Amino acid sequence: NAGVTQTPKFQVLKTGQSMTLQCAQDMNHEYMSWYRQDPGMGLRLIHYSVGAGITDQGEVPNGYNVSRSTTEDFPLRLLSAAPSQTSVYFCATQGSPYEQYFGPGTRLTVT
């Protein structure tokens, strides 16, 4: 039982490049979300989803796309990376009642 897994652990991109951060869970949780963590800013919600085909925007959705085709996977896409997207990204699932389980994070640097 791996819980929440994220790949890659580290990534360096050049401005304008695109990439997908992967998130997978084996807990059969319907709810999944993406956060970014920046120094002094805490965690800010990017997008979230309650199941296949249903997503919603969080506090900071601009520059990010998501889709949810399966219960297990919730990828986060950066279509054209910018230096302002340099951050640590966390994926989370929500069990019952309302407890969220976080992945280990992806550290992204955009140069």
Residues forming contacts to another protein in the complex (CB under 8 A) are 30-31, 33, 35, 40-45, 48-50, 54-56, 58-59, 90, 92, 94, 97-100, 102-105
Minimum CB distance to another protein, residue 49 (Å): 6
User: Two tokens at 100?
Assistant: 């969220």
Minimum CB distance to another protein, residue 73 (Å): 16
13 vs 36 by CB, closer to another protein: 36
User: Two tokens at 9?
Assistant: 């652990």
